[in-house]
Structure 1
């Protein structure tokens, strides 16, 4: 029987960050994952933006999350010997005079810290970009080639044996009377962690959490004349991938979801891109994925209220690339050292939603956290 300290279910950006953190601490980790080409992590453009949203607000804990993310992806670049991190400014373009005035009025209080050094400064000249209303030049961000990163890490995990391609069935997980958990009488783990993304809505241990998946679509676009020195953002993000290739996104659709991509999303994103650039472009691809979103837009970290060895590291929504590395450190400290989780992400905030019920057949009813 294979014995590990941690059994992780799912290998998107959350599972990858947590597996790397636990393995770096010398723990035996096994990841079970059934790859999905339309998973949120593989479809996403991997944007890291410290100032986001319609209100131009500083992203939650950006000053702590962003440096940890940059350090993690630089480390992965060195380890894998492949460029996956693109650090570049983000140009947030204003859509109206009212928006321009609102942002300038707020800038006196320096709400964006060092990420926006001068809210009143001139934007760099970007040929072909509609920037008559001005905007903000946001520093410190960029994007990650998430699909490339996960593909390389998956290949490494398969070679080294700490990752296996397999569909996991929670109904076959049972408590071991001696401690920990058994799975199909071939695996034994002290801890089991859900990193399943949107699939966690079907997890019998955590289906009471307010995880509400939403679907997003992106376009791959060819526009050789568009400047490539910055990410553009006005109603949509435009990420330059190099060689005249762009990724444009993203839409947000709540259930019920369409099967695959839709012509409506294609038209919507093309229209948003036309509001950003007057240059001709050609759509070369379209993809759709389902994000694991949460009611309060904060991830879900912690331990099941009645089964101490079962945990969740999930619910990162559209900001997983920036949040996952630092929160993986936090989760590992929680698991290894009983350090406190940040209250904003601890699933204790939702314990009132948990309704105790008889354990499902085959599910563990008790276990030791150690």
Structure 2
């Protein structure tokens, strides 16, 4: 007899974690399949939440909607597990040049960032060893999420409660029909949601989506003299992990690449840290992961054009810890109550790519 579930989720990175939690919170039966990978993108990432980012120094997309949902999600998990995951702290954005300094400060008179940026007239706090020849700004309401601790806690819970299964998804076992999906002879679900990250490029149903894997590397560094109450950002981020350790990242490398740490990334990140601080430090670890990036830099949510029981939740890129909690709510509402997805993230915007891929497959050789 087949086990019955409402949702089968493939992947347990930040997308699968947030969606699974949201669905279980609503009383729905969820089964998650995940091939545990110590260097998954979510585990390698520093988990930054940055309300103002990019070369244009603009407010993050939909920040007033996304940030409260993210804060509520991590606070709820902290209450559930009795431990801390989200570390809210100021981000010191240090300018890289006189031109950047002038451009940003000239915009500050119009207060385009609301309450997310401290008054530039206050200057930067006194941080021993910090190098900032061009000045900078202090960003508010940001911080970082301990994604490794969060995943570990939920993985332990999932195995104990039976909703998480550490196994490799086999596409050939999945059979969609008008009422849902069957996975082998053992499981039946109303929907399967693919939260596979960069490996979606190999997905038989969603490989037409414009996802490009992007490799990122980070360093784990011992630097006991660096401040513990700030995230630093100039060319690289420096996140205080506690116990005298920080994480420094991240690099961006487009295919082709090999999934292993490189000497080039180590040298690049070490140099960036030297440019940020004069305090002594020692590199004690280096890790590499692969992000799913999208052509228009917006996530990918929605049903397959032909098989509505097949759903994708992907393309979170380097901002997953900020984006995922609210988007999990948006996707759950769409699937359970037929609410409209946000147009910026709905995969229907790439319908032409699916049509072209389907035509190419159907054409004779």
Q: TM-score range by the shorter chain?
A: over 0.9
User: What aligned pairs does 1:219-230 form with structure 2 within 5 A after superposition?
Assistant: 219-230=219-230
2:47 matches 1:46 = yes
Partner of 1:175: 176
Give distance in 2, aligned partners of 1:184 and 1:135.
Answer: 56
Local SS of the residue matching 2:251: coil
2:327 matches 1:345 = no
Give distance in 2, aligned partners of 1:108 and 1:15.
Answer: 41
User: What aligned pairs does 1:120-199 form with structure 2 within 5 A after superposition?
Assistant: 120-176=121-177, 179-199=179-199
Local SS of the residue matching 1:109: coil
Displacement of 1:176 in angstroms is 4.7
Give distance in 1, aligned partners of 2:132 and 2:257.
Answer: 34
Give distance in 1, aligned partners of 2:207 and 2:157.
Answer: 32
More divergent stretch after superposition (126-135 vs 328-337): 126-135
- Asked if the contact 1:104/1:120 (under 8 Å) is kept, the reply is no
Displacement of 1:83 in angstroms is 1.2
Structure 1 runs of 4+ aligned residues shifted over 6 Å read none
- Asked if the contact 2:221/2:246 (under 8 Å) is kept, the reply is yes
Partner of 1:13: 14
User: What aligned pairs does 1:260-339 form with structure 2 within 5 A after superposition?
Assistant: 260-339=260-339
Local SS of the residue matching 2:208: coil
Give distance in 1, aligned partners of 2:316 and 2:277.
Answer: 31
Give distance in 2, aligned partners of 1:284 and 1:156.
Answer: 30
Displacement of 1:259 in angstroms is 3.2
Give distance in 2, aligned partners of 1:64 and 1:237.
Answer: 24
Give distance in 2, aligned partners of 1:161 and 1:315.
Answer: 28
Local SS of the residue matching 1:351: helix
Give distance in 2, aligned partners of 1:169 and 1:159.
Answer: 23
TM-score by length of 2: 0.96
Give distance in 1, aligned partners of 2:153 and 2:121.
Answer: 42
TM-score by length of 1: 0.95
Local SS of the residue matching 1:232: strand
1:5-55 deviation digits (Å, cap 9, x = unpaired): 000000001100000001111111000000111110000010000011122
1:226-276 deviation digits (Å, cap 9, x = unpaired): 111100000000000112100000000000112310000000000000110
Partner of 2:354: 354
Gaps of 5+ in 1: 361-370
2:60 matches 1:59 = yes
2:32 matches 1:31 = yes
1:105-127 deviation digits (Å, cap 9, x = unpaired): 11122221110131332111001
- Asked if the contact 2:9/2:30 (under 8 Å) is kept, the reply is yes
More divergent stretch after superposition (126-135 vs 193-202): 126-135
- Asked if the contact 1:32/1:167 (under 8 Å) is kept, the reply is yes
Local SS of the residue matching 2:219: strand
Give distance in 2, aligned partners of 1:226 and 1:87.
Answer: 17
Give distance in 2, aligned partners of 1:122 and 1:93.
Answer: 11
Partner of 1:68: 69
Give distance in 2, aligned partners of 1:241 and 1:93.
Answer: 20
Give distance in 1, aligned partners of 2:110 and 2:195.
Answer: 39
Local SS of the residue matching 1:147: helix
1:70-102 deviation digits (Å, cap 9, x = unpaired): 110011011111111111000000111111100
Local SS of the residue matching 1:343: coil
Give distance in 2, aligned partners of 1:176 and 1:99.
Answer: 55
Count of aligned pairs between the two proteins: 359
Displacement of 1:213 in angstroms is 0.9
Give distance in 1, aligned partners of 2:234 and 2:176.
Answer: 51
Give distance in 2, aligned partners of 1:344 and 1:72.
Answer: 22
Local SS of the residue matching 1:292: strand
Local SS of the residue matching 1:288: strand
User: What aligned pairs does 1:58-137 form with structure 2 within 5 A after superposition?
Assistant: 58-137=59-138
1:201-232 deviation digits (Å, cap 9, x = unpaired): 10011100000010000000001111111000
Give distance in 2, aligned partners of 1:231 and 1:259.
Answer: 27
CA RMSD of aligned residues (A): 1.4
